[in-house]
Structure formats: C-alpha cells, structure tokens
Amino acid sequence: MIRINLAPPSEKKKGASLVGAAGLDLGLVFGGAFVVLLLLMGGYWWKVSSDISRLEAEIAKNEKEKARLQQVIAEGQRFKLEKEELERRLSAIETVARNQARPAYLMDAMADMLPADLWLTRVEEKGQQLRLGGTAYSSVALSDFMSNLKGSGKFKDVDLVESRQDLAKSPRTITFEVSCRFEI
C-alpha cells in the first residue's frame, strides 16, 4: 500500500504546541485568576469584617463614654444652676447692702430734726421724693420741724402738703403731711 501525504510538511517549533499547550495554559491562567480572585475577595471580606468588629467595639466604647459624660454634663448643669442662684442671691445682698445706708442716714438725719412735741407716723420714699406724715401738738412744732428740715441742707424742696387740726379731740392735735427730697 502506498500512502500519499498531501499536507504540507509541518515543522515543530521550539516551545509548546498551540493547541495542547494553549488549552492547558488557559486553564491554568483562569484557574490561577480564580484562586487569586478568591484570595482577594477573602482578604477584602476579612478586612471588612475586622473593620466592622473594630467599629462596633469603638461604638460600644463611645456609648459608655457618652453615658459617663452625660452624668458629668448633668452635674455641670446642676453646678451652673447653683452658681446662678448664688449670683442672684449675692446680687440681692449687694443691692440691700448698697441701699441700706440711705435709710440709716435718713433716719439719723430725721431724728435730729424732730421737735419734742411732734412725732412721725409715716415715712414714704418714692425715688428721691419723701412724704412724711405725722402729728404735732402745736403749729409752732410743725413750723419748727419744717424750718429744721430746710436748715439742715440734707432736705430740699420742703413743702407742706396737708395740715388738719382735729377740734373734736382733746388735746387738739395737728395731723400733717410734708413732702421733700433727701440728698445725702
């Protein structure tokens, strides 16, 4: 039998054959790529899960810190309210202490001005204006009182607002009201 080969002669190249080697190489390449992809996805999953665990632990730590700080803030608010209350009280005490000297000076000055047969039953102060009400046994005592107020230099604009004598009572007394300004 005679065989005739009509195919061109083939020369084998140095290296792997195209069909067999390429199929094997592509399988290895895709297999390797798949393994690398699995490793990358596993590494990413491990990193994300460790980040989640770390962040959850940080959130729990921060929640504890928040609860502790809320107690500190509440205590600070309490101290702030107490401080405001103390400042308000201190302000009231300072106001009273500041204004306390004026009535003392007024009463001291008034005591020196009163004649023996005259007494005051009412002293009202509105701003700078004083209204003095009282009773006297004689008009001379009332006149002396008003002269003493004018002459002292501490009382300005001394005016007699009202003067009434009760004729039905015995002894006869004069009820009066005087207005003036007290200047320290």
Topology adopted by domain 114-182: Gyrase A; domain 2 (3.30.1360)
What gap in Å lies between CA 184 and CA 125, rounded to an integer?
A: 14
What pairing do the DSSP bridges indicate for beta strands 173-182 and 118-126?
unpaired
**pTM of the predicted model as reported, rounded to 2 decimal places:** 0.47
Taking only the tens place, the pLDDT of each residue in 34-83 is 999 999 999 999 999 999 999 999 999 999 999 999 999 999 999 999 99
DSSP 161: E
pLDDT at 24: 60
How does residue 12 score in pLDDT terms, banded at 50, 70 and 90?
Answer: low
Domain spans, the chain:
31-104, 114-182
What gap in Å lies between CA 99 and CA 95, rounded to an integer?
A: 6
